[in-house]
């Protein structure tokens, strides 16, 4: 028999649910100690390897799926003083994505780590004893490295959330500008060179850098110099075309930003859809 003691009733019930999925039998009961309620979960575990593995799986999933997010939320509320539920949920979503491997650029900053292996190792050492196990003490001392890693993740997630909020404000601002801008050309064709774009008008005549610079509304660069790309975004906003055909490199971050700003005006096309005869002779229009 193994006994876990919890301060929170919800934790005891949730762990029991995970153990039930592993077909591990357990009994829940309340106790009163020093005028405080505690919640005990007594677990029947045979000495067989397979049964112990089921126990490890149940407790590990409880820690990784539930408690990690509870701890992360506590950090946001108690360390960073977040109160807005929507903000908290958006930051927790980033933390969750990091832990699922969906934010590799952020994980690179703190390194890969086997969370599940760490929890299982901690459990294995703990279950060697016979005394009841305080889950809160287990978390504080045995899972200290996991909680420290979550602190780093939350810190990175907050920075990422703030950057994403700034990006959304930037996109919204430029959409409003575009909506108020008079259309200067009907269509613009953008040909990806791998490091930038060559501009062609509706007659498939190439626009030089001098043409584009001349077309730019100088207020864009004066009011928002840090945000507006003068080589691509500023000319497009200033020309305000009804349609923008983008050839190739659809995964580029700049293309995604253009899609967010120009929305239904953008059409992505394969690179080979662009007429080859218009590309040669090639010259570096950026030097003009």
β-pair partners for 226:
none
Domain 181-287 is found in CATH 3.30.420: yes
Q: Tell me what pLDDT residue 220 has.
A: 81
**Helices of type H across 104-252:** 104-110, 115-126, 135-137, 144-180, 209-215, 218-223, 233-239
pLDDT of 250 above 70: no
Give the count of alpha carbons within 13 A of 145, CB side only. Answer: 11
Give the count of alpha carbons within 13 A of 32, CB side only. Answer: 1
User: Could you read off the pLDDT of 95-132 as tens digits, one per residue?
Assistant: 999 999 999 999 999 999 999 999 999 988 777 767 88
- Write the burial class of residue 120 (CB in 10 Å: 0-12 exposed, 13-18 middle, 19+ buried): middle
pTM of the model: 0.82
Determine the 3-state secondary structure of 235 from DSSP: helix
pLDDT of 50 above 90: no
Number of neighbours of residue 268 by Cβ within 10 angstroms? 16
Q: Report the percentage of the chain scoring pLDDT > 70.
A: 93
Task: Give the range among 12-21, 83-92, 136-145, 250-259 with minimum mean pLDDT.
Answer: 250-259
Q: Tell me what pLDDT residue 285 has.
A: 45
User: Could you read off the pLDDT of 178-222 as tens digits, one per residue?
Assistant: 999 999 999 999 999 888 899 999 999 999 999 999 999 888 877
pLDDT class for 286, splitting at 50, 70, 90? very low
pLDDT of 230 above 90: no
Rounded CA separation 271/137 (Å): 59
CB 182 within 8 A of CB 240: yes
Domain boundaries along the sequence of the chain: 2-175, 181-287
- Find the distance separating the first CA and the last CA of the chain, reported in whole Å: 80
Q: Tell me what pLDDT residue 129 has.
A: 67
pLDDT of 239 above 70: yes
What sign results for the dihedral spanned by CA atoms 141, 88, 14, 96? negative
DSSP 182: P
Helix (H) or strand (E) holding 90: helix 85-99
pLDDT class for 140, splitting at 50, 70, 90? very high
Per-residue buried b or exposed e for 155-164, using 16+ beta carbons within 10 Å of the residue's own CB? ebbbebbeee
Rounded CA separation 277/216 (Å): 28
Cis peptide before 130 (omega within 30 of 0): no
Rounded CA separation 34/25 (Å): 29
Rounded CA separation 269/285 (Å): 22
Q: For the residues 51-64, what does the mean pLDDT come to?
A: 92
């Amino acid at each position: 028999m193994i006994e876990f003691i919890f301060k929170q009733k919800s934790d005891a019930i949730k762990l029991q649910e995970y153990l039930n999925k592993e077909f591990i039998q357990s009994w829940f009961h309340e106790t009163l100690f020093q005028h405080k309620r505690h919640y005990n979960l007594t677990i029947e575990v045979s000495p067989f390897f397979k049964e112990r593995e089921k126990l490890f799986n149940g407790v590990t999933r409880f820690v990784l799926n539930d408690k990690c997010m509870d701890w992360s939320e506590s950090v946001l509320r108690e360390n960073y003083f977040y109160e807005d539920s929507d903000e908290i949920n958006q930051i927790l979503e980033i933390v969750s994505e990091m832990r699922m491997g969906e934010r590799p650029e952020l994980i690179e900053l703190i390194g890969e780590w086997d969370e599940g292996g760490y929890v299982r190792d901690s459990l294995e050492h703990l279950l060697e004893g016979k005394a009841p196990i305080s889950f809160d003490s287990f978390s504080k001392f045995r899972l200290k490295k996991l909680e420290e890693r979550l602190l780093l993740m939350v810190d990175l997630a907050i920075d990422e959330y703030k950057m994403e909020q700034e990006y959304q404000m930037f996109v919204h601002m430029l959409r409003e500008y575009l909506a108020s801008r008079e259309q200067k050309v009907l269509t613009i064709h953008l040909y990806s060179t791998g490091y930038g774009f060559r501009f062609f008008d509706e007659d498939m005549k190439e626009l030089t850098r001098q043409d584009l610079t001349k077309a730019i509304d100088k207020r864009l660069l004066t009011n928002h110099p840090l945000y507006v790309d003068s080589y691509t975004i500023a000319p497009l906003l200033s020309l305000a075309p009804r349609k923008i055909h983008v050839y190739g490199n659809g995964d580029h971050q700049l293309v995604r930003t253009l899609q967010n700003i120009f929305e239904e005006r953008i059409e992505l096309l394969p690179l080979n859809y662009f007429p080859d005869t218009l590309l040669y002779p090639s010259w570096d229009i950026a030097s003009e």
